[in-house]
Chains A and B, each alone.
Chain A
């Protein structure tokens, strides 16, 4: 009564690798076929690479003033692709460094809020009862707080407004989305048979969460982390716009728009270019998120 494996069994060790990779390949394949997401990925990659190699790309520094070349409109020949501002700083350089700051802030926010949100959501969902009540009421509280106002107060108190500081403060309010997603996932997974089996095998709650639940919900977590990146960019820009974000002279995209808004009639480029970059980053990230969701969801549907 030997139960032969259904798959061809020659060289199963190699066969196994092929199989696993092909599982991953399927999701990747679906993502690669998602045209909008792929185009978005390419555009975003270009923005990121250009922003983070600003030193190599432009001969100017972001705070290098040249009053004789102030308020120049964008030209190819003049060497100022995006023009210059009222202090004669090369605006292309300013936008690149601004994008770099904004992207840095957004990535740190996504990382931190995913960590915090996952932790809180997992604990609330797994333990349930009063722990869940406390954690979720707290989450609700953070959600209903007037976010921007609270951020302004926090930033005003803490002061200097370095990009990292801004990121930490943003994260302290932005983990709620992921906390809710993770809690819902954990709740539904708590009664899954393989999770119960792990408990019966003697696994501690932490082990059950870490080893059995989290790896099986990486899809939703990644998708939501992606979406957090784009909202972080927007919120950081909004904060900078009203003067509570990253402090000058370090440029950030919202801050550039804020500085340029007074001269919108005469110097259109001061608002337009940072604005376009914000739109480009947010749109591409959202499209990538869509693509990831489709690719990963399909994998989950196939498995069940």
Chain B
């Protein structure tokens, strides 16, 4: 792997669900997504429910079979549908699920859960035991609690177990699918700090899937904003948060409630009208045009390309991002 080759490269990923024989229109969950992720980097994939962010993550790791496109991880194309190749890849790429109550087998002890990937990779029993207690310490759990069952732990602790399982075989990339959104607010910070520590210590790359911009703003180096199956804006954290160029990104940022009562009513607030369109029947041209205050004729005719704009380093998929930011009508 040369220095310029990213750890993960996705080219034109497409995922459509359902009805190939065509009675109902297919759900276009992911429409032509391309992105790269370098080793040790954190990329946030942000959007609202149904925008295709989780589907993207699941396609990357092979839990879903993409309809089109190419995914190259660690210098090798991901071979969807080939179990042996995927199993080999999963040593280097792992997944942390959203719901810590659903992601652990309720009938297995923590030790059994954590030792499973180790034993299946051929590790000897004695070594496994040492590695499990190492993993538990790594995520801040007491190794002597290995013989407990998941229901004996709090939500935050269970999410730590899920993270430990993902780390068992020393992966290079973790796909984190809303890893803190199911946790109590006072626990979220613990898990975010843990993820940051682990990254520093182990040199991991993260693909951080989330709907919560404040969480993403904390942990991500770069951020990709998705809307209805496409990336509408991608750039560094500073670029996205300091100078969002896509109207949707702007609306998304302004919709986040700020926890300062003094700012109430003083902040410019973009309240989008209507709901996101259905991915089964997306609008022509730019998918966001139905809710966009800048939309003009061209927006319904051509899908805007994701490209760098004048006076901005981030890539934006908007016909009007070149013009200066205007307030919503």
Contacts and interface: CB of A to CB of B under 8 A. Distances in A.
Judge A-B direct contact (beta carbons within 8 Å).
yes
A192 B102 contact: yes
Contact of A215 (B98, B107, B142, B152): B107
Interface stretch (A48-56, A91-99, A118-126, A199-207): A199-207
Main SS of chain A's interface residues? helix
Contacts, number: 85
A3 B97 contact: no
Interface in A1-24: 1-3, 5-7, 12-13, 16, 19-20, 23
Interface stretch (B22-30, B34-42, B113-121, B292-300): B113-121
Interface in B118-141: 120-121, 140-141
B208 interface: no
B152 A193 contact: no
Interface residues of A, number: 29
A303 interface: yes
B149 A20 contact: yes
Contact of B106 (A6, A19, A203, A216): A216
Chain B contact patch, size range: 35 or more
Given A1-B190, A5-B145, A197 B165 contact: yes
Interface stretch (B154-162, B211-219, B321-329): B154-162
A200 B147 contact: no
A303 B105 CA distance: 11
A19 B148 CA distance: 9
B61 interface: yes
A191 to B, nearest CB: 9
B152 A7 contact: yes
Contacts of A192: 102
Contact of A3 (B156, B162, B168): B156
Contacts of B162: 197
A217 B310 CA distance: 59
Interface string B84-109: 00010011001101110111111100
B227 to A, nearest CB: 25
Contact of B97 (A13, A196, A303): A196
23 contacts: A3-B140, A3-B141, A3-B190, A5-B153, A7-B152, A12-B145, A12-B148, A19-B148, A19-B149, A19-B152, A193-B102, A194-B103, A194-B104, A194-B105, A200-B61, A200-B95, A201-B90, A201-B116, A202-B91, A202-B120, A207-B120, A216-B106, A303-B151
Given A194-B103, A194-B105, 4 more contacts: A3-B157, A19-B152, A193-B98, A303-B106
Interface of B: 61, 63, 87, 90-91, 94-95, 97-99, 101-107, 116-117, 120-121, 140-142, 144-145, 147-149, 151-154, 156-157, 160, 162, 165, 168, 190, 193-194
